[in-house]
Amino acid sequence: MKVTAFLGSPRVNGNTDMLTMKLLDGAKQAGCDTEAVALRRLKIRPCVGCEKCWTKERPCAFHDDMIGLYETIASSDVLVFATPVYWYAPTAIMKAFIDRLVPFNRPQGRPLIEGKDAILITAYEEEGPTAAEPLLRMFDLSFEYLGVNLVDRLVVDGVGSKGAVLEKPEALDRAFEIGRKLKG
């Protein structure tokens, strides 16, 4: 089983990254092949709604780093979407990535994503669930639209400063266990 995590945080080794790497450690222990893709290192243009992905064999009119990610997504069994909450939503880099998933909605793209499992990891500074609710709803609707199965989510509040999640060992343990439950 291949587990690919898409890191949507602009902050290197921040709380969201730490949680995701723990999940991948658990998945490795379960015998899975794992990969982490740091979206912050890639050039992904925003979707412009040109709909060329619907009329051509190419997955997109743009020739940026997202083109290579289409094969990565298609060859993965589990997709991990990891993003902190920024203004009650995913980061801009995660949102651009999600917007560019449109080619998987084409008739020839649908079988490449439909039925895959997804895991959502999010961390944020505010206390309580309210700040994450819009983000969680957006991902629920997006996964449903793509025919992707949300199998687990990890939502960690109260971790604004870099490394604050280290003071929440239960969250790190839960991330590891989510990964360990995956079957390699």
Residue pair 155/122 in contact by the 8 Å Cβ criterion: yes
φ/ψ of residue 3, rounded to 5:
-115, 120
The alpha helices in 52-132, defined as continuous H runs, are 52-55, 66-74, 92-99
State the first-to-last Cα distance of the chain, in angstroms, to the nearest integer: 5
- Mean pLDDT across the chain, nearest whole number? 94
Per-residue pLDDT band for 109 (boundaries 50, 70, 90) equals: confident
Convert the pLDDT of each residue in 29-78 to its tens digit.
999 999 999 999 999 999 998 888 887 777 788 999 999 999 999 999 99
Residue (of 66, 98, 104, 59) closest to 82 by Cα position: 98
The overall pTM is greater than 0.85: yes
Residue 184 confidence (pLDDT) = 64
Residue 140 confidence (pLDDT) = 97
- Average pLDDT, integer, range 103-124: 93
Which secondary-structure segment (H or E) carries 175? helix 169-180
Residue 139 confidence (pLDDT) = 97
Please list, in sequence order, all residues whose beta carbon lies within 8 angstroms of the beta carbon of residue 93, skipping any fewer than 6 positions away.
8, 10, 39, 40, 44
Residue 165 confidence (pLDDT) = 96
Residue 146 confidence (pLDDT) = 94
Which secondary-structure segment (H or E) carries 177? helix 169-180
The C-alpha atoms of residue 171 and residue 117 are separated, in whole angstroms, by: 21
The C-alpha atoms of residue 143 and residue 174 are separated, in whole angstroms, by: 22
Convert the pLDDT of each residue in 2-31 to its tens digit.
999 999 999 999 999 999 999 999 999 999
